[in-house]
Structures are given as C-alpha cells and as structure tokens.
Amino acid sequence: MKLHSFIGAAGALVCATLMAHVAYAAPTATQLLEQSDAIRNPAQSFSLTNTLIEFRNGQQTDTDVLTVYSKPDSGDGQYRDLVQFDEPARDANKLLLKNGNDLWFYDPSSQASVRISPQQRLLGQAANGDVVTVNWAKDYVPTLAGEEDVTDGDRQSRHCYKLALTARTPDVTYHAIDLWLDASNARPVKARFYTESGALLKVAYYRKFQPELGAERPTETVIIDGLDPNWVTVMRYSNYAWRDVPDAWLQRAYLARFKPE
C-alpha cells in the first residue's frame, strides 16, 4: 500500500471512530435536567388539580385539594403560579402566589397577603415549593454523578443517570437534590432532598406516567420523610388543561380580587 493511501485510510478510521464516539456520547447534566423539566412541566400556560394525601403508618390522616394555574415567564422561562385552595372547606379560596422565587399567602378572611418560605410545610411532607411549577434547570447547577440501577416507585429496576443538583441561590426550596433519571428517556424516577447541613429531608418517587398536554408526564409523586418512612405524602395530578393565565392573576395586589373564570 502506498504511503498516502495508508495515511488516508488511517485518517478515515480515526474520523469514523470520533464520529461514533460523538454519536454515542452521554448527554450533559444540563441537557438531562432540561429534558426532565420538560417531562414534568408543560411548555405553555396550563392548569391542573393537585390532590395531597397524608398517611401515617399506612392510615390516611389528611387531604388537601388545590387548583394550580401556571404560566412560564417570557423572560427567564421559570414559572409563575397561582394556587387556589379548594378543600378542606376551612381553607377554601385561600391563595398561594409564586412570582420568581417569592411566595405569598393570601387569606380571604383577613384579606392580608404575607410572604412565606418555599421550605415551609403545606401538608405532611409537601412543602409550599413542592406544589408550584418549577424548572430545576433554572434554580440548580447540575452535575452528572454517574449511572446506576435504582428501584422505582413500582419496585421495578431502572437504569438511571444520577444528577447532583446544587442550589444557585438560597431562596429555593431545597439546598441540594440527588435526582435519578431513566437513562432511556430522561423521565424522573427518584429524588432525595437535603438541607443546607446535608441532612436528608425526604425521598420522592415519580409514578403513573400518562399522556397529558402532549407528553407522558408523572401524575403521582410519593414523598417519604427522611427520618420516618411511615410518614408519607402522595401528590396526585389530574384535570390537566391548557389555560390562559392572565398576568393580572400573578400580581400580589390582585389577590383580593381573584375569581377564577
């Protein structure tokens, strides 16, 4: 073989090898997190019903029903939310507003709105920040921590990418999150949430994927206390609908006048 032919063949082999490597390279942590966010969250304004059910030692102890109105911000892509309390009757028509990372609670009986923390518990293991729509890629810096097989919420083994998420700012719901995404489709499988000191707050499993608003989305999240595995909160999502959410609804000054259309 002539020298130039040999060099040409070797060069072609190297190029083919590099192209194959690129084609099969694992996605980046940011890409995976963005894909997972798109699975959890519709890309346009929408509404849904969030039913929170608390269990202690296998016995149901409390239930809340909320209507969530969500709208992506045209500037940063993060969501703004208005959450209306429907049940129980004692909490009916109370409101929770998320604008940026600011959360406001409105009680119609006092006609007062007060700023609250996203870390504060709403029911059982569900915090205020758990019932609003959040793009984690906006609030956390992700790192790809490897691949491993984990057991999902249906006790099936899933091969997953593991992401370690670190909060960009101190005003988000959790200081750090370990997130497992199905390696075949980036669906969220499991998450572990931590305090700033590194203590485990809770473990969540994402279940019951169904077609909703153009994608297969988890319609149930099971949240287990980090210290007491017998303290469980289930969040069930239903009544998904595309919904025009007026900007006026998402202003603190408008809360006293809010009436759903």
pLDDT in tens, the chain (261 residues): 454 443 454 454 444 444 444 445 679 999 999 999 999 999 999 999 999 999 999 999 999 999 999 999 887 878 999 999 999 999 999 999 999 889 999 999 999 999 999 999 898 899 999 999 999 999 999 999 999 999 999 999 999 999 999 999 998 999 999 999 999 999 999 999 999 999 999 999 999 999 999 999 999 999 999 999 999 999 999 999 999 999 999 999 999 999 876
For residue 249, report the phi and psi dihedrals to the nearest 5 degrees.
-65, -25
The CA distances from residue 141 to 28, 86, 255, in Å, are 12, 35, 33
Q: Which two tokens stand for residue 229?
A: 């595995």
Which of 46, 41, 36 is closest to 240 using CA atoms?
A: 46
Answer yes or no: are the C-beta atoms of 147 and 162 closer than 8 Å.
yes
Q: How high is the pLDDT of residue 259?
A: 86
Sign of the Cα pseudo-torsion (39, 41, 46, 47, in order): positive
Q: How high is the pLDDT of residue 77?
A: 78
* Cβ neighbours of 147 (radius 10 Å): 12
**Predicted TM-score of the model (pTM):** 0.88
- The label of the residue with tokens 């919904």 reads 243
Q: Any bridge partners for residue 236, and if so which?
A: 51, 220
Instruction: Tell me if the bond preceding 72 is cis, omega within 30° of 0.
Output: no
Q: What is the CATH number assigned to the segment(s) 42-257?
A: 2.50.20.10
